[in-house]
Structure 1
Amino acid sequence: MKLSLCAIVKNEEKNLPKCLLSVKELIDEIVILDTGSSDRTVEVAKSFGAKLSHFQWCNDFAVARNEALNYVETEWVLVLDADEVLEPKIIPQIKQAIKNPDYLVINLLRQEIGARQSPYSLISRLFRRHPAVRFSRPYHAIIDDSVNQLLQQENHWQIVSLPEVAILHYGYQQTAIASQDKYNRAQKIMEGYLANNPDDAYICNKLGALYLQINRLASGIELLQRGLKSPEIEPAVTYELHYHLGNAWIEQQDFNQAALHYQNAIAQPILPQLKLGAYNNLGSLLKTAGQLEMAKKAYQTALKIDPNFALGYYNLGITLKTRGQMDEAIACYQKAIQLEPNYAQAYQNLGVALLKIGQVAASLKAFEKAIALFSSQNPPEAERLQNSLEKMGLFSPKSSRLRQELFD
């Protein structure tokens, strides 16, 4: 079976080479649709032997993706964005899966690099080239609508999911979001679609979540609740609706409602990796309520699902510290730092825990690292921590560094 990479791009000269290099051992054809690049994107695509076409952007991702599909000639299609790369370990599994004559769609697990809270998503980006399989929705374009319609007519097809991480996505890093003004663009496109599809659960979920991010809480809650009333909702969408409502009710200080929504999210029949955010936030609610044993179990469940979940180790460390289990807490903070070396909060809490057991020199080194990281990530927090240490007599304001004699 032959497979094409299919991508729409604009001004992606920096990201595109990594994307294309990541699939070179898998794909037989590269199809690139450029939507108006003014940098070297076109030259980069040509250097990889891509079949290149041009398209005038119309503010609709589905239309652009479908245009790109028109140029594909292979049996299978892998759709990636320029800020995504394929995980090499997944290539043998993909090669084996596309040999199955009954598979129509192979869902892929994507890791959201820089998304500390919910680091995974499941996306339908690997599928058989079929005239009925097309993208819909102008933003967060998906093939799911057309696939569901096709299955009603040709019910022999199967949809499967690969449980291992297949795609690394760098587009949710804060610098990328800020530079591309993604929030404003997404809001405009999705609001236009919502006007004609007011009860669509998928768009209610995506736009409702965006409203929460830009502090339009009332509008976000209304949309998310509306989405849950839709008659037919995919479990993954149901999970996200409950998860985002849990976040919204935390902002509204209604912790009981938040906990109920996180529990409903966890109950959905989806891949465990997708539930990390709900387990983590439920654990935080339980910790705040003083139910430390239950909070501990929630975090441990998240870490059993994903042993590389740095935020889970950090929060478990806080829970253990509150329970007085300092050695265990220190081990959790150290594991979080090992997984995420620039984790300023983990260094700060590690410093607190070490100080409590009398390891002053090690504690101050952790605090010094936390201040250095906060200085670039969150300067007010760096100043607050430094002032607190000065008041405790642990920091030298004249030298702006920890007192060397405390390390002797």
Structure 2
Amino acid sequence: MESGMTTLSVIMIVCNEENVLSRCLDSVHPHVDEIIVVDTGSDDRTRELASQYPKVKVSSFPWTDHFAEARNFALSQSSSDWNLSLDADEYVIVADWKALYQQLESNPGFIGRVKFIDEFLNGDGEAEHTQNRLARLMPAGTRFTGRIHEQIDSRLVRLNVPLTVRHDGYKAQNKSTRNIPLLEQGLLEEPDNAYWAYQLGREHAGLKQFDAACAYFEQSRKRMNGSEAYAPNAVVSELYALLGLGELNKAEKLVTETHQSAPEFPDYYFACGIFYLDYIMADPAARIHLLPRIEQSYMKAISIGETDRYESVHGTGSFAAWYNLGVFYETTGQMEKAREAYLRSSRYGYKKAAERLAEAGL
């Protein structure tokens, strides 16, 4: 579209997305050659809204409880050289379209990693977001694999592309009732698949069903070889689930086993900071010597900084780590250090830090 030579389509599978579809389409319609919208059974105005866009081609595909099958049908409808896969609750917020088309023309064979910002509500009902890069851009002829959390089936090199997409679907609704049965079916079909077990653990953790979550995370960890892209996130997720269950001794064993090989991942060290506080408070007399590890964990997270190499919660390498350090310093009587940590956190615009400075009179 931008170059007049290389062509780009957006491919989508949708069902009852009338509330968010236009936002997605508006973000890409001026910049691509066509948009393939495959409807899997909407009974609202989704098809009608999609049809109002000149570049949109609407097709139907019966839902088979298999995301890759639906996406691959959408890909089969595309006539472009390249395809960008988006969901209706995703939309482009930052893009250098000219640079993207130049990249597509100069690199005919690669898989594009798009930056994603995923919004969600934490356990306190506060809005947070993760940032990550996902493989979503692919040359014609490429296909997906996987019943759910489908992946691009290709050994082509992965390259970052100048697109940033925001996703808020998990903030607006809980999709566990849809996801868990599909993941269970996937694990039934592939009982040694560590990824299915990991995703099931995440779903149950999100529902605060920590017993089930821990069982699936342990199952996943035993089947991973450690080179998986999601391996660091799996460790962090299991650690939080163990803390949610109150299994501090198992959490200590997990931290001990993973600490030496831990990647440059702020979320891991942020979680370690939380773990050490809980672990020490459970038996202060025996564990008070571990107190410095709380500070060390948060400082390590800060030294790494924010990242999109893995799925990372925004703030674990910056303002949230500084805030938790402030709380640690304040509770241990290190008031000047607490003031400095809160100040550093507040400079990121973190309101809780500014409020704490005022409340504590620091």
TM-score if structure 1 supplies the norm length?
0.71
Deviations 1:98-155 (A, max 9, x none): 123453311222111236676123321101111xx32222221222xx21xxx4xxxx
Aligned residue number for residue 346 of structure 2: 334
- Distance change >3 Å, CA 183–CA 51, structure 1 → 2: same
Deviations 1:56-96 (A, max 9, x none): 22222111111111100101000000111113234344223
Answer yes or no: is the 8 Å Cα contact 1:239–1:264 preserved in 2: no
| Pairing 1:186-201 to 2, within 5 Å after superposition | 186-201=179-194
What secondary structure does 2:31 align onto? Answer: coil
1:85 aligned to which of 80, 86, 91: 91
What secondary structure does 2:248 align onto? Answer: coil
Answer yes or no: is the 8 Å Cα contact 2:41–2:63 preserved in 1: yes
- Distance change >3 Å, CA 166–CA 264, structure 1 → 2: farther
| Cα separation, 2, equivalents of 1:223 and 1:118 | 24
Q: Alpha-carbon deviation of 1:16?
A: 1.1
What secondary structure does 1:70 align onto? Answer: helix
| Cα separation, 1, equivalents of 2:224 and 2:314 | 37
What secondary structure does 2:78 align onto? Answer: coil
**Letter paired with 2:151:** I
Moved more, 110-119 or 26-35: 110-119
**Letter paired with 1:42:** R
Moved more, 238-247 or 212-221: 212-221
What secondary structure does 2:240 align onto? Answer: helix
Aligned residue number for residue 160 of structure 2: 161
TM-score if structure 2 supplies the norm length?
0.79
Answer yes or no: is the 8 Å Cα contact 2:129–2:314 preserved in 1: no
Answer yes or no: is the 8 Å Cα contact 2:266–2:302 preserved in 1: no
What secondary structure does 1:315 align onto? Answer: helix
Aligned residue number for residue 125 of structure 1: 136
Aligned residue number for residue 354 of structure 1: 358
1:206 aligned to which of 187, 199, 204: 199
Q: Alpha-carbon deviation of 1:221?
A: 2.7
What secondary structure does 1:103 align onto? Answer: coil
Aligned residue number for residue 154 of structure 1: none
Would you say 1:56 and 2:62 are equivalent positions?
Answer: yes
Q: Alpha-carbon deviation of 1:218?
A: 3.7
Would you say 1:257 and 2:253 are equivalent positions?
Answer: yes
- Distance change >3 Å, CA 221–CA 40, structure 1 → 2: same
| Cα separation, 1, equivalents of 2:194 and 2:71 | 22
Aligned residue number for residue 9 of structure 1: 14
What secondary structure does 2:77 align onto? Answer: coil
- Structure 2, unaligned runs of 5 or more: 1-5, 123-127, 281-290
- Distance change >3 Å, CA 221–CA 287, structure 1 → 2: closer
Q: Alpha-carbon deviation of 1:304?
A: 5.2
Aligned residue number for residue 172 of structure 1: 170
Percent of aligned positions that are identical: 24
Moved more, 214-223 or 186-195: 214-223
| Cα separation, 1, equivalents of 2:227 and 2:133 | 12
What secondary structure does 1:94 align onto? Answer: helix
What secondary structure does 1:112 align onto? Answer: strand
Q: Alpha-carbon deviation of 1:8?
A: 0.7
Q: Considering only aligned residues, what root-mean-square deviation do their CA atoms show, in Å?
A: 2.9
| Cα separation, 2, equivalents of 1:261 and 1:32 | 46
- Distance change >3 Å, CA 205–CA 297, structure 1 → 2: same
Instruction: Return the index of the structure with the highest Cα Rg.
Output: 1
- Distance change >3 Å, CA 266–CA 160, structure 1 → 2: farther
**Letter paired with 1:257:** K
**Letter paired with 1:5:** V
More helix by share: 1
